[in-house]
Amino acid sequence: MSITWNPELRNRSLMRLGDFTDEEMLQLIRLARELKARRAAGIRGDLLRRKHIALIFEKSSTRTRNSASIAVRDEGGDAEFLTRNDTHLGLKESVKDTARVLGRMFDGILFRGFAQATVEGLKKWSGIPVWNGLTDDFHTTQILADLMTMQENFGEDLRGLKLAYIGDGRNNVANSLMMGCAKAGVNYVNCTPESLMPDPVLVKEAAEVAARNGSSVEVVHDPKVGVKGANVLYTDVWVSMGEEDKKAERLKLLRPYQVNAELVEATGNKGGKLIFLHCLPAFHDHETVVSKESGAQEVTDDVFEAPFSKVFDEAENRMHTIKALYVSSLGDPAAL
Ligand code: CP
Ligand code: NVA
């Protein structure tokens, strides 16, 4: 079973997708596909033997936390899960001091939290690879799994496909997805209201990357226009973690941006030409405390549960892509 990784990725951190060249990003996803096949063949190896990863989580998580933990354990290493209550970080100890301590003990840090400055500080001061597991601004590792899931459905070369993102156009997922699509040559359309448009600096940056890969980046307000010809419909929650005070306003604003049967119809694409993705957790029914109380539903249940919905493959791929990051950064080629 072939497992290869680019030696240029050794000891590399990942703050945002722009930190990697387009080819490095695609190599990483290729490695994730190889590691997925390795696990499917029942191989639990030693590529990360005696590697210790600190998982610092200021925000809740199901997928990222468990992916980050299982990924290192699968290959012989271990993870320490640290919530806000477990360390002094930010309360009695600065990011700079905490980073310098953890850097003496661990081989890598995966961080999920609020400020992008925190993950950047951990990278700057720890001296070990640090990976961004979601901040207010970016959800870098998520997009690796999204692109991998697209490859599983449309083939390795994603150039020329169209992805329509519908909803909160300036959240962490939207920001990173825009850049991930640009790097993979996928045409990206962000369908969002005027008040939730992405930062023009990020749009310009992504549009330049897209142009060199023969694709485009667009922001439109009418979802029915934006999704026309889309191969991927992608949405996320209307209220991200840390923005709970915006709930009432967002629900009102984003109701016309719900992904439902009508919007699927508006793509004009069915059969094998269309998939639905969502980073999850998703509000698609009223089975959760939050959705019961708020009525939020960014995607209807029929779309979420449809055969073209690949959200659980996407969730699984979080683990393989995070493992690829660890292996390319810290893996022992002699253990192959
Ligand atoms: N998609 C994602 O990051 O999920 P979690 O919040 O469960 O980690
Ligand atoms: N935009 C969402 C993503 C959750 C994985 C949030 O930040 O809450």
Alpha carbon of 106 to ligand 2 centroid (Å): 27
Report which DSSP code applies to 198. Answer: P
Give the C-alpha separation, 112 to 133, whole Å: 5
How many Å apart are CA 205 and CA 308, to the nearest integer? Answer: 31
| Residues whose CB falls within 8 Å of the CB of residue 262, separated by 6 or more in sequence, listed in order | 224
For residue 58, how far is the Cα from the chain centroid? 17
- Cβ of residue 140 lying under 6 Å from some atom of ligand 1: no
Please report the pLDDT score of residue 111 as a whole number: 98
Domain membership flag for residue 157: no
Q: Within a domain: residue 154?
A: no
**Is any ligand 1 atom within 6 A of the Cβ of residue 297?**
no
Distance between Cα 146 and ligand 1 center (Å): 12
The three-class DSSP label of residue 29 is helix
Q: 175-212: per-residue pLDDT in tens?
A: 999 999 999 999 999 999 999 999 999 999 999 999 99
Task: Tell me how crowded residue 60 is: count the other CB atoms within 10 A of its CB.
Answer: 11
Claim to verify: residue 86 and residue 201 sit in the same structural domain: no
Q: Are residues 134 and 208 in the same domain?
A: no
User: Any idea what DSSP says for residue 197?
Assistant: P
Q: Which one of 60, 64, 241 would you pick to mutate in the ligand 1 pocket, going by the greatest count of ligand atoms within 8 A of its CB?
A: 64
Q: In whole numbers, what is the pLDDT of the chain averaged over residues?
A: 97
Do 174 and 302 lie in one domain? The reply is: yes
Look at residue 312 and tell me if it is in a domain.
Answer: no
Q: State the pLDDT at residue 292.
A: 86
Looking at the domain assignment, is residue 182 inside a domain? Answer: yes
Distance from the alpha carbon of residue 173 to the mean position of ligand 2, in angstroms: 7
Domain that holds residue 199: 162-230+232-268+271-307
Asked if 117 and 97 sit in the same domain, the reply is yes
- Predicted TM-score (pTM) of the model is 0.98
The answer to whether position 90 is within a domain reads yes
Local confidence band at 31 (pLDDT 50, 70, 90 cut-offs): very high
| In a shared domain, residues 84 and 221 | no
Assess whether pLDDT exceeds 90 at residue 45: yes
In a domain, 281, yes or no: yes
Structural element, H or E, at residue 163: strand 162-166
- Prior bond to 129 cis, omega within 30? no
- Cα–Cα dist 328/111, whole Å: 18
- Bridge partner list, 164: 189, 233
Residue 210 covered by a domain: yes
* Residues 278, 184 within the same domain: yes
Q: Whose CA is nearest to atom 1 of ligand 1?
A: 279
| Ligand 2, atom 8, residue with closest C-alpha | 240
Question: Which pLDDT score, from 0 to 100, does residue 295 have?
Answer: 85
Tell whether 225 and 176 lie within a shared domain.
yes
- CATH code, 289: 3.40.50.1370
Nearest CA to ligand 2 atom 2: 240
Same domain, 173 and 301: yes
| Confidence grade of residue 100 (pLDDT, cut at 50, 70, 90) | very high
Q: Does 148 map to a domain? A: no
Based on the fold, state whether residues 133 and 166 are members of the same structural domain. no
* 321 CB within 6 A, ligand 1: no
Residue 50 confidence (pLDDT) above 80: yes
Q: What is the pLDDT of residues 12-26, one digit of tens each?
A: 999 999 999 999 999
Would you say residue 1 has pLDDT above 80? Answer: no
Pair (88, 12) in one structural domain? yes
Q: How many residues does the chain have?
A: 336
The helix/strand/coil state of 215 is coil
Residues 134 and 89 in one domain: yes
Rounded Cα distance, 191 and 259, in Å: 11
Q: What is the whole-number distance in angstroms between the Cα of residue 280 and the centre of ligand 1? A: 6
Residue 220 CB less than 6 A away from ligand 1: no
Least confident of 99-103, 228-232, 268-272: 268-272
For residues 116 and 173, membership in a common domain is answered with: no
**Residues in CB range of 209: below 8 A, 6 or more apart:** 18, 22, 179, 182, 183
Judged by phi (left if over 0) then psi (alpha if -120 to 50, else beta), residue 76 lies in left
Please identify, by atom number, the ligand 1 atom nearest to the C-alpha of residue 62: 7
Catalytic machinery residues: 112, 139, 142, 236, 279, 318
Ligand number, closest to the Cα atom of 174? 2
- For position 298, what pLDDT does the model report? 97
- What average pLDDT does range 33-42 have in this prediction? 97
CA of 2 to the centre of ligand 2 (A): 34
User: Mean pLDDT across the stretch 75-103?
Assistant: 96
Mutate which of 55, 57, 63, 66 for ligand 1? The one with the most ligand atoms within 8 Å of its CB, which is 63
Q: If 0-12 CB within 10 Å is exposed, 13-18 middle and 19+ buried, where does residue 308 land?
A: middle
- Counting the structural domains of the chain, the total is 2
What is d(CA 219, CA 48) in angstroms, rounded to the nearest whole number? 41
Contacts by 1-8 with C-beta closer than 8 Å and gap 24+? 1/34, 1/37, 1/38, 1/41, 1/43, 2/34, 3/31, 3/34, 3/35, 3/38, 3/47, 3/327, 3/336, 4/31, 4/34, 5/31, 5/324, 5/327, 5/328, 5/331, 6/328
Model confidence band, residue 271 (pLDDT cutoffs 50, 70, 90): confident
